[in-house]
């Protein structure tokens, strides 16, 4: 079994930036998909209250 080591400060910073960028991109994608699906549903199921 090998001894584990902590990532360096630079590696930690780079990994954190990658995670945050991916999180923002996925959030934008999900939000855009939600907006498109709502628009499609409004066309298929017209209601007066929405």
Q: Could you report the per-residue pLDDT of 1-50, keeping only the tens digit for each? A: 789 999 999 999 999 999 999 999 999 999 999 999 999 999 999 876 65
Alpha-carbon distances, residue 36 vs 16, 46, 50 (angstroms)? 30, 15, 15
Q: What is the pLDDT of residue 48?
A: 67
Q: Which two tokens stand for residue 39?
A: 């628009």
Count of all residues that appear for the chain in the document:
50
pTM above 0.85, yes or no: no
């Amino acid at each position: 079994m090998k001894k584990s080591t902590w990532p360096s400060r630079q590696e930690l910073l780079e990994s954190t930036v990658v995670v945050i960028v991916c999180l923002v991109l996925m959030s934008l994608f999900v939000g855009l998909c939600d907006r498109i699906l709502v628009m499609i549903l409004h066309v298929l199921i017209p209601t007066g209250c929405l």
